[in-house]
Amino acid sequence: MTWQRSLTSSCLLLLFGGCNSTGVGNPAPALSLSLAIVNDESPVLDLSAAGEASAGTSDMAGAAGEPSAVGAAGEPSMSGSDPNADATQILPLRAVKDAIVVFGELRFLPCDVTRGEVFTVAGPFVVDLKKKTNTPEIPPINDTPGGYCGIDAPLAPAMAPAALAGRSVFFDGYRADGTFFIVYANMMGTLKMRAKPGATWEGQEPPPLFFWALRPRRWLMPIELNMVEPMPYDDHLRAVVIDAEHHPALFFAIRKRLAGVSTLYADANGDGVFDDPDRAAEVGEGLENAD
């Protein structure tokens, strides 16, 4: 898998193995790469209608025989982890109000452990997917012999801002009937991204940019939300509060999906913005295993 973009009339920079010389007699530049963690809200169309339709389904199945979202052991179905899930498995665009995850550090894993080294970037990093910010910005990552083939991102409690302090995940919004839902917890685990077969993530000069696309619209399915009875919350309203105590099955399903429905893309057109052309440059896929 090789993607190209032109830097000068005399040098074509390969996205997975760049130019290694600045000219005759000049030393090769230090190679690096950059990462941005972004929100992928695709499909672009507003699926509110689909979400509203699912609100009318029964607790266990839709009128047209829609399969249950809960397995025999009471675990939510993981069909919602499929990035190609249909509309009934994806929250509407307007349903998600906040989606924030906090990483204590980012560990970049070499493809060949006998040659390369793990490169660790210390955090914490507060990733606000709705505001489209990484705070602080993730600095460039030094290259390693053989390139990188994985990222481990341990969740960790935020130290700031005050409203988030002590929590690693803040995810809330409204289901189709207007009921508020919230996940606000110090969720523990490690999000994992791995290279697709044949792909490596290699540094260049200037650094190539990679987008780790998370998909909060797929962290919960509408039918799952509709099955949960709201409880008293904040003195003034009733809400669906999802945590390890009240709804552990949903809580741990979300934990799996944080990375399990994510994808890594290269900045194929070199514009520094995650957009449709980059979807053709898929170079990594997230794992459900967050242990």
pLDDT tens, residue by residue, 116-173: 999 999 999 999 999 999 999 999 999 999 999 999 999 999 998 898 999 999 999 9
- pTM as predicted: 0.78
User: Where in the chain are the domains?
Assistant: 38-57+78-170+184-224+247-287
pLDDT(39) > 80: yes
Nearest alpha-carbon partner for 212 in 264, 137, 135, 158: 264
CA nearest to 258, candidates 33, 17, 78? 78
pLDDT band with cut points at 50, 70 and 90 for residue 206: confident
Q: What is the mean pLDDT of the chain?
A: 80
189: pLDDT strictly greater than 60? yes
String of DSSP letters for 193-243:
EEEPTT--B--BSSPPEEEEEE-GGGSS-HHHHHTSPPEEETTTEEEEE-S
Q: Which two tokens stand for residue 236?
A: 């003034």
Predicted confidence at residue 236, as pLDDT, reads: 78
Dump the DSSP string for 10-73: TEEEETTB----SSTTPPPPPPEEEEEEEE---S-S--HHHHHHHHTS-SS--TT-PPPSB-TT
